[in-house]
Structure 1
Amino acid sequence: MSLISNFAKAAAGLLLAGSMMASTAIPAAAAEYTKDHPLKVALVLHGTLGDKSFFDSAKAGMDKAAAELPVEVKVIELGYDRSKWQAGLADATDSGYDVVIAGTFDMTAYIAELAPQYPDVKFIDFDDAPDYTKCDCKNVLAVQYGTSTAGYLAGYAAAKISKSGILGTILGMEFPTVTDFKVGFDQGAKDANPNIQILNATAGTFSDPAKGKEIGLAQLNQGADIIFPIAGGTGLGALQAVKEAGGGKLAVGVDSDQAAIFAATDPAQADVIFTSVEKKVGESLYLALKGTIDGTQEYGKRIVLGLKDGAVGISKNAQYEKLVPADVRAEVDAKEAAIIAGEIVVAADVK
């Protein structure tokens, strides 16, 4: 069974094993939704579309839902001015939507504050979770992703194909949903090559491509020949630095299959992204909405989706097959099977 098939089976109602943070979790009330009477959904982004990773993945899930389910979706881009985020989420919540979706730690406190005030609105908090012991959040579903296992696979492959023995990682900020990628990546790289050197930098922002490019260039100048930016829009600058460096320098994409995203508009950029660590945000949100419509989705709980659920993984596309030798690909497949079987335990910051 493919990863995505496994994810679809395991997460059809998002009832898989995860961290259950509240004993009061309740299923969504079943309702008769049709194209004429759709589930009204707002996706509230504390940023803008066009990051070619995290927010775009969420939007892709909404596009799939709009095409396949009786839903009406509004995507609200709040931009990067933090002073507008709380008010923007509150406005969306007060606008008659059945489900309000927002993500990451930046928005969780606002969700926890609004949820008890709007008990008839359902909230989906993706990539973070409220403290269910401290808030009346029975109408909040929190979806998190165990990306360290997929990060391990990318790190293993990167260390195997690196010619300089030096890798670079760039974090947007340091908190568990970001560092989870890195702890797995580092573990996989060191398992592949105990002598591998891993450079690390933290940009302090997810929305500054120029800074990402500056950091990427610095790491390349220090000898790194593969860079893994875990930094949203900031990371786009690092990818550009790798592309412009040439000489066989490569990158690992993040959140979405970034090579596939760039293929049509910037094939030279796509060519240097040998794989991506995918967090299938869009698919998880689609499944949550599907479960909400059919009444199987529980709210008032936190779940963690991982490699064995098919919710995270690495891109095994044309670039991967071209740039990663067959024997290394076979080793990565074996490591993936061992992680799923519990034979390899990968460190994690999201637990």
Structure 2
Amino acid sequence: MHNPISRRAFAGFVLAASLSLPAAMPAAQAADYSKDNPLKVVLVLHGTLGDKSFFDSAAAGLEKAKAELPVDVKIIEAGYDRGRWQPALADATDGGYDVVIAGTFDMTGFVAELAPQYPDTKFIIFDDAPDYSTGCCGNVMGLLYQTSSAGYLAGYAAAKLSKSGTLGTIIGMDFPTVTDFKVGFDEGAKAAKPDIKLLNAVSGTFSDPAKGKEMALAQLGQGADIIFPIAGGTGIGALQAVRDAHKLAVGVDSDQASIFEATDPAQAAVIFTSVEKKVGESLFIALKDTIDGKAEYGKRLLLGLKDGAVGISRNKQYETIVPAELRAEVDALQEKIASGEITPATVMK
């Protein structure tokens, strides 16, 4: 089901997919980390766990690191009050950790401000990267994900599955790391059915399930029979609307059907696949390479389908809902994207 990033592939990202700049910090020598002398890591979330999406994926990667690596992990939930985000990150950075992790464009500016003040601390920002040309961030690793390459596959399958000929997407905000999902999804859908109708909406928030449900109901009312919410917690409400209408949905960031399986099987049953941004796996590998002295900071890494950093969920819902012939088509498309024969559009540069 999952296609974890290999350590060899991740090391290759540093050479092939990264933007190297003079300010980059050379790969550190491997330290003698052990259970008695662990790498001290803190993840600062500008939100809370339980989003069944982005933040949960990041936390899962750290839990995996805690189980398999000599690391000491702390997760700080700063909540959704923007006024708390910078102080939470500053407090964490001042806490004596070896690696400070934060995510998305909302936190990048804060990381860029703090990193020069703590040159001996390493920072990882996932789903965004600072402007390295300013010389601010030789101790910062930026992990970005070209999700359009996986969104293309989901869009193609959705268009083929749609009986109404209308699909809907709901994004939290119109920002490259969010919009890239939709760009690929829309392109893949049009490749499958050039006359497909696409309904697109922007919620303006990632933390309002009621608004997500309202927007999904509007799209369902306009004939959409498959909806792709790309909106964090807001998207949970959209998924609920799809569940109640007995239509289909595409999950985002993580394998959302598997996440819902135990607590809401009816919800899981309508999510025929998810476009996965393998945040947790990329963080795990980044920490492992940090311990091994192989991770270079001061780099911007853009990871995509060919790297195994994004993909679609091929779970029991996928196997049940998507006919074998269509699954074979999607597999063939994935191979063409990975080989470069097909290059989905992207807003990630």
Name the counterpart of 1:279: 277
Listed one character per residue, the Cα deviations across residues 266-320 of structure 1 (whole Å, up to 9, x for unaligned) are 1000000000000000000000000000100000110011100111000011100
Superposition map of 1:78-97 within 5 A: 78-97=78-97
**What corresponds to 2:21 in structure 1?**
22
1:6–1:71 CA distance, 2 compared to 1 (3 A): closer
Asked if the contact 1:154/1:252 (under 8 Å) is kept, the reply is yes
Query: 1:175 corresponds to which residue?
Result: 175
SS in 1 for 2:340: coil
In the TM superposition, 1:5-44 aligns within 5 A as 7-12=6-11, 14-25=13-24, 26-44=26-44
Take 2:205 and 2:74, find their aligned partners in 1: how far apart are those partners? 26
User: Aligned pair 1:133/2:133, yes or no?
Assistant: yes
Structure 1 stretches of 5 or more lacking a match? Answer: none
Correspondence 1:73-152 to 2 at 5 A:
73-152=73-152
Q: 1:332, 1:264 → 2: CA distance?
A: 28
Q: How far apart are the structure 2 equivalents of 1:12 and 1:3?
A: 20
CA contact (8 A) 1:189 1:196 kept: yes
TM-score, normalised relative to structure 1? 0.97
Q: Secondary structure at the match of 1:4?
A: coil
Whether 1:305 aligns to 2:295 is: no
One-letter amino acid of the counterpart of residue 285, structure 1:
L
Secondary structure in 2 aligned to 1:228? strand
Report the number of matched residues.
Answer: 348
Compute the TM-score of the two structures, normalised by the length of structure 2: 0.97
Q: Verify the 8 A CA contact 1:57 1:281 in the aligned structure 2.
A: yes
Hey, what's the Cα distance between the residues in 1 that align with 2:243 and 2:3?
Answer: 30
- Return the alpha-carbon distance in structure 1 between the equivalents of residues 15 and 266 of structure 2: 40
Aligned twin of 1:190:
190
| Structure 1 equivalent of residue 249 of structure 2 | 251
Relative distance call for 1:23 and 1:312 in structure 2 (3 A) is same
The answer to whether the 8 Å contact 2:23/2:132 transfers is no
Range that drifts further, 18-27 or 181-190? 18-27
Give CA deviations for 1:58-83 in whole Å, capped at 9, x if unaligned: 00000000000000000000000000
CA distance in 2, matches of 1:67, 1:111: 27
Corresponding residue number in structure 1 for 2:263: 265
Question: Which secondary structure does the structure 2 equivalent of 1:138 belong to?
Answer: coil
Shift of 1:250: 0.1
CA distance in 1, matches of 2:283, 2:5: 16
The 1:83/1:62 distance shift into structure 2, 3 A limit, reads: same
> What residue number does 2:344 align with?
346
Hey, which bits of structure 1, 4+ residues long, moved more than 4 A? none
SS in structure 2 of the partner of residue 332 of structure 1: helix
**Contact 1:112-1:130 at 8 Å conserved across structures:** yes
What CA deviation, in whole Å up to 9, does each residue of 1:65-124 have, x standing for no partner? 000000000000000000011111000000100000001000000100000000010000
**Structure 1 residues 41-60: Cα deviation after superposition (integer angstroms, max 9, x where no partner):** 00000000000010000000
User: What CA distance in whole angstroms lies between the structure 1 residues aligned with 2:94 and 2:135?
Assistant: 19
Q: Distance between the aligned counterparts of 1:303 and 1:76, measured in 2?
A: 25
Separation in 2 of the partners of 1:3 and 1:27?
Answer: 29
Q: Does 1:47 align with 2:47?
A: yes
Aligned counterparts of 2:17 and 2:103: Cα–Cα separation in 1: 18
SS in 1 for 2:252: strand
CA RMSD for the aligned pairs? 1.3
Write the distance in 1 (CA, Å) between the matches of 2:127 and 2:20: 15
Q: Which moved more, 1:39-48 or 1:11-20?
A: 11-20
Aligned to 1:60: 60
Structure 2 gap ranges (5+): none
Deviation at 1:3, TM superposition (A): 7.1
Partners of 2:6 and 2:318 in 1: CA distance? 22
In 1, Cα distance between equivalents of 2:151 and 2:269: 20
Number of the residue aligned with 2:163: 163
